[in-house]
């Protein structure tokens, strides 16, 4: 088989999962990333391995993707996951009104849930709001964002993928007729500029996809949508705690190592390169988070940060946009050959995003090799650094 | 949070390729409540796109953003500017010591990862193996998970390398396993993992430590490697004594 060379731009969740999938399917793979692994949105996720229940009412496509990928990630990358489950809890009447829709949505999406009495819920998680009205168990988990990404990157590397970190894409190489033949890069660590030629360029830069496509004169409908997350200095539950209601600000509180993380807000920006942590958003997180776990109020803030989700669509307010993803073949959308863009989605669905993107790349290049990432356990994340 | 603004001089270590290292000053207006990594990221975003620095989670779960701040090892995502300088003051930002510098603020930490691999440090513990005693965060023992399995928890050590940078011995002994690695061996216990004895009972293992406890002082993640190294020595000695009396 002639070996095609794929250049992946971006080493966040999508980029590393694509590099892994491409390498498994026999491609020669080069990854170009302007920072270290997972330095943008991916590293800054709160780390919820979604059961899908959060989306089971409003966005069932995302919910079904989540529950399926949740089960797969537990098996292929156990090193990065606290698989302790989650709870959805109702603390007021409006939450209770959501109960029926929630049960129906989870059933339709095949998300296994079980209703607990308030007493049962407080017995397994004594720090929950004692006024809670009902609770459901869901198969959530917590993941370590960097190590999840590193496990994909390490496995890709062991299968031959080459990573250029701290390397910016400064332009796209073209064949003179507007078709993409590779990338011009600037390695900032060595302060060296060079060109990399490839058969296909995969733009996996998440909220930043527009910066790459604009080099080819292409616009993609992406809405960079940041939200704040706040980490607190004590672990107060074993499970991820979700508000039983439609998605909203500060409706997820999850444990991670010795911390609790509360997220998130949602607003729009133009340039995702630097997003300030807004103090009123931080205040809102403690407000909303303590409605679920009152002891958060007595807990010290440990860190506060912003992450910018890449939501597909433009103009619409953040919460109403689907959390699913889309791969664009720019030959079809803009008559530019050699460039594929993947964006949208969420951390829990990184493997699936890669599968669909690489399916598209394979179809374009006439490569007939099936995806095997769902059955392939990843190697230790440490192997990214240790040969 | 207040609207208070400070002016702070970030004096940043710079190094590219084979070029000579130097320091470059960036004067920033910051909120004292911001974290040091926010300032470093703003230098990259608004002042100098050639700056190379590492970061990922911004909430102390990944260990990527370790740097020396005014000479002390810090995880910069949880280090508030208010706690390390004053209005009009200076923040000297340097890469970790005892690792090769890749560029600017980024070091090659393979030394640490090789060691963690050598002692098979688990990234995820059963809760009963995690050192949480006295933290009040154990679930009630009588409540198993839904499927009867034990709770699992990501290890406390985030492999940030601060302990190796702060260790006065790690600088002179390149082969020294170092605090994080020895702590990971202690956590597993030589009784449970006897094959680790040969790895740690050697000149570059537990006996190299000079008990400076700098590792414990800088650890951002409550691992307490200094105490764990001392305990590991006790475990090694106990094994030797058992052997002298004919035990396994």
The answer to whether the Cβ–Cβ distance between B221 and A257 falls below 8 Å is: yes
Contact (CB<8Å) A189/B52: yes
Report, as an integer, the average pLDDT of A263-291: 90
pLDDT of A221 reads: 87
Distances (CA, A) of B2 to A55, A278, A283, B33: 36, 11, 12, 8
B contact residues 161-220, partner A, Cβ 8 Å cutoff: none
Residues in B touching A82 (Cβ below 8 Å): 124, 152-154
Name the closest residue on chain B to residue A147, using Cα atoms.
B62
Q: Classify B34 in phi/psi space as left (phi over 0), alpha (psi -120 to 50) or beta.
A: beta
* Yes or no, beta carbons of A303 and B77 under 8 Å apart: yes
> Average pLDDT for residues A143-165, to the nearest whole number?
98
Q: What is the pLDDT of residue B248?
A: 59
Class of domain B6-107: alpha beta
Cβ separation A386–B103 shorter than 8 A: no
What pLDDT does B243 receive? 86
Strands (E) across B78-229 are located at 90-94, 101-103, 106-107, 124-126, 152-154
Question: Chain A contacts of B132, Cβ < 8 Å?
Answer: 258
Window from A250-264, A319-333, B209-223 with minimum mean pLDDT: A319-333
Instruction: Report pLDDT for A323.
Output: 72
CA distance A22 to A118: 48
Nearest to A303 among B50, B78, B116 (CB): B78
Please report the pLDDT score of residue B12 as a whole number: 98
Which whole number is the average pLDDT over A31-48? Answer: 96
Beta carbon pairs, A and B, within 8 Å: 173
Any idea which of A111-115, A342-346, B1-5 has the lowest mean pLDDT? B1-5
Contact B117 A80 (CB under 8 A): no
The answer for B 76-95 residues in CB contact with A (under 8 A) is 77-78
CA distance B204 to chain A (A): 19
Band of the pLDDT at A316, cuts 50, 70, 90?
A: very low
Q: What is the mean pLDDT of residues A61-77?
A: 96
CATH topology for A5-41+146-220+323-384 is FAD/NAD(P)-binding domain (3.50.50)
Q: Does the CB of A85 have a partner CB in chain B at under 8 Å?
A: yes
Residue B42: closest CA among chain A residues belongs to which residue? Answer: A274
Cα A303 to Cα A261: distance, rounded to the nearest angstrom:
9
Cα A280 from Cα A257, distance rounded (Å): 26
> How many Å lie between the alpha carbon of A135 and the closest alpha carbon of chain B?
14
Q: Is B13 on the interface with A (CB under 8 A)?
A: no
Nearest neighbour of A166 by CB, restricted to B103, B110, B135: B103
For A175-191, give one letter per residue: b (16+ CB within 10 A) or e: eeeebbbbbebbbbbbe
Instruction: Give CATH for domain A84-141+223-312.
Output: 3.30.9.10
> Minimal CA–CA distance to A145: which of A383, A387, A348?
A348
Of A144, A168, A192, the CB nearest to B154: A144
A355's tokens = 């599968």
Cβ atoms within 10 Å, residue B103: 22
* Chain B residues close to A231, C-beta within 8 Å: 59-61, 78
Q: Per the CB < 8 Å rule, is A168 touching B49?
A: yes
Q: Do B146 and A114 touch (CB under 8 A)?
A: yes
pLDDT at site B33 = 95
Contact A302 B102 (CB under 8 A): no
Using an 8 Å CB-CB cutoff, list chain B residues near A347: none
What integer pLDDT is reported at residue B134 of this predicted model? Answer: 38
Taking residues A265-280, what's their average pLDDT?
88
What's phi and psi for A238, nearest 5 deg?
A: -95, -25
A114 in contact with B, Cβ within 8 Å: yes
Looking at the complex, does the CB of residue B129 fall below 8 Å from at least one CB of chain A?
no
pLDDT at A271: 86
Interface contact flag, A84 B16, Cβ < 8 Å: no
% of residues, chain A, pLDDT over 70: 97
- CB nearest to A36's CB, from B64, B77, B145: B64
Average pLDDT, stretch A24-37?
98
Q: Where are the domains of chain A?
A: 5-41+146-220+323-384, 84-141+223-312
Provide the strand spans (E) within chain A: 5-9, 28-32, 48-49, 81-82, 86-90, 114-116, 134-138, 141-143, 162-164, 167-174, 180-187, 192-197, 200-203, 222-232, 240-243, 252-256, 259-263, 301-312, 325-329, 339-344
Confirm or reject contact between B148 and chain A (CB < 8 A): no
CA distance B246 to chain A (A): 38
On chain A, the residues whose CB falls within 8 A of the CB of B221 are: 257-258
Section A117-136 average pLDDT: 95
Give domain limits for chain B. 6-107, 110-121+157-244
**Chain B interface includes A81 (CB < 8 A):** yes
Residue labelled with tokens 């400064």: A170
- The confidence band for A266, taking pLDDT boundaries of 50, 70 and 90, is confident
* Confidence (pLDDT) at A2: 60
Contacts of A261 in chain B (CB under 8 A): 59
> Facing residues of A31 across strands?
A8, A163
Asked if A196 contacts A182 with a C-beta cutoff of 8 angstroms, the reply is yes
Position A319 scores a pLDDT of 58
Q: Do A146 and B106 touch (CB under 8 A)?
A: no
Q: What is the pLDDT averaged over residues A215-243? A: 93
Tens digit of each residue's pLDDT, chain B (248 residues): 457 999 999 999 999 989 999 999 999 999 999 999 999 999 999 999 999 999 999 999 999 999 999 999 999 999 999 999 999 999 999 999 999 999 999 999 999 999 999 999 999 988 766 655 434 444 444 445 556 677 888 999 999 999 999 999 999 999 999 999 999 999 899 988 999 999 999 999 999 999 999 999 999 998 899 999 999 999 999 999 988 888 75
Q: CB A190 to CB B38 under 8 A?
A: no
Contact B221 A114 (CB under 8 A): no
Residues of B in contact with A380 (CB under 8 A): 117
| A residues 292-351 lying closer than 8 A (beta carbon) to B | 302-305
Q: Which residues pair with B14 in a beta bridge?
A: B22
Nearest residue of B to residue A151, measured between CA atoms: B123
Contacts B33 to A, Cβ<8 Å: 279
Nearest to A18 by CA among A218, A201, A179: A201
> Does any CB of chain A come closer than 8 Å to the CB of residue B33?
yes
CATH homologous superfamily of B110-121+157-244 equals Alpha-helical ferredoxin (1.10.1060.10)
pLDDT, mean over chain A = 94
């Amino acid at each position: 088989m002639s070996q095609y060379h794929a250049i992946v731009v971006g080493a966040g969740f999508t980029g590393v999962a694509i590099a892994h999938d491409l390498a498994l399917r026999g491609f020669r793979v080069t990854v170009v990333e302007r920072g270290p692994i997972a330095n943008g949105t991916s590293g800054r996720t709160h780390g919820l391995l979604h059961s899908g229940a959060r989306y089971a009412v409003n966005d069932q496509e995302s919910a079904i993707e989540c529950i399926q990928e949740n089960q797969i990630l537990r098996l292929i990358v156990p090193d990065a996951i606290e698989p302790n489950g989650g709870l959805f809890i109702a603390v007021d009447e409006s939450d209770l009104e959501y109960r029926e829709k929630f049960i129906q949505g989870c059933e339709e999406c095949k998300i296994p849930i079980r209703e607990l009495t308030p007493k049962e819920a407080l017995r397994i998680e004594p720090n929950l709001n004692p006024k809670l009205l009902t609770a459901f168990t869901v198969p959530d988990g917590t993941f370590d964002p960097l190590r999840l990404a590193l496990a994909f990157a390490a496995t890709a590397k062991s299968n031959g993928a080459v990573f250029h970190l701290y390397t910016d894409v400064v332009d796209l190489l073209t064949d003179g007729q507007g078709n993409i033949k590779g990338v011009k890069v600037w390695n900032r660590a060595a302060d060296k500029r060079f060109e990399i030629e490839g058969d296909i360029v995969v733009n996996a830069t998440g909220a930043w996809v527009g910066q790459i496509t604009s080099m080819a004169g292409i616009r993609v409908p992406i809405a960079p949508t940041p939200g704040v997350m706040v980490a607190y200095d004590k672990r107060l539950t074993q499970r991820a705690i979700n508000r039983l209601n439609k998605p909203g600000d500060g409706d997820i509180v999850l444990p991670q190592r010795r911390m609790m993380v509360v997220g998130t807000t949602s607003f729009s920006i133009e340039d995702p390169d630097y997003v300030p942590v807004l103090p009123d958003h931080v205040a809102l997180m403690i407000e909303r988070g303590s409605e679920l776990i009152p002891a958060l109020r007595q807990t010290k803030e440990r860190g506060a940060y912003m992450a910018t989700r890449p939501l597909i669509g433009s103009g619409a307010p953040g919460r109403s946009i689907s959390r699913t993803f889309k791969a664009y073949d720019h030959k079809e959308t803009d008559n530019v050959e050699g460039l594929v863009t993947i964006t949208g989605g969420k951390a829990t669905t990184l493997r699936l995003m890669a599968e669909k993107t690489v399916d598209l790349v394979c179809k374009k290049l006439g490569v007939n090799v099936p995806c095997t990432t769902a059955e392939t356990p990843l190697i230790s994340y440490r192997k990214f650094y240790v040969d | 949070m207040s609207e208070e603004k400070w002016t702070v001089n970030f004096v940043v270590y710079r190094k590219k390729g084979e070029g000579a290292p130097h320091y470059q000053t960036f004067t920033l207006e910051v909120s004292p409540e911001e974290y040091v990594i926010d300032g470093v990221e703003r230098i990259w975003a608004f002042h100098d796109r050639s700056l190379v620095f590492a970061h990922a989670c911004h909430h102390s779960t990944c260990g990527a953003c370790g740097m020396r701040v005014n000479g002390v090892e810090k995880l910069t995502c949880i280090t508030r500017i208010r706690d390390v300088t004053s209005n009009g003051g200076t923040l000297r930002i340097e890469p970790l010591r005892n690792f090769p510098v890749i560029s600017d603020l980024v070091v090659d930490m393979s030394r640490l990862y090789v060691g963690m691999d050598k002692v098979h440090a688990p990234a995820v513990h059963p809760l009963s193996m995690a050192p949480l005693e006295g933290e009040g965060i154990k679930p009630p023992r009588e409540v198993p998970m839904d499927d009867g399995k034990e709770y699992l928890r990501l290890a406390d050590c985030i492999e940030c390398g601060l302990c190796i940078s702060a260790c006065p011995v790690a600088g002179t002994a390149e082969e020294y396993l170092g605090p994080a690695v020895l702590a990971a061996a202690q956590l597993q216990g030589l009784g449970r993992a006897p094959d680790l004895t040969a790895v740690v009972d050697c000149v570059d293992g537990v006996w190299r430590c000079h008990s400076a406890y700098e590792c414990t002082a800088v650890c951002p993640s409550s691992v307490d490697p200094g105490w764990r190294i001392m305990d590991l020595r006790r475990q090694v000695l106990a094994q030797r004594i058992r052997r002298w009396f004919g035990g396994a």
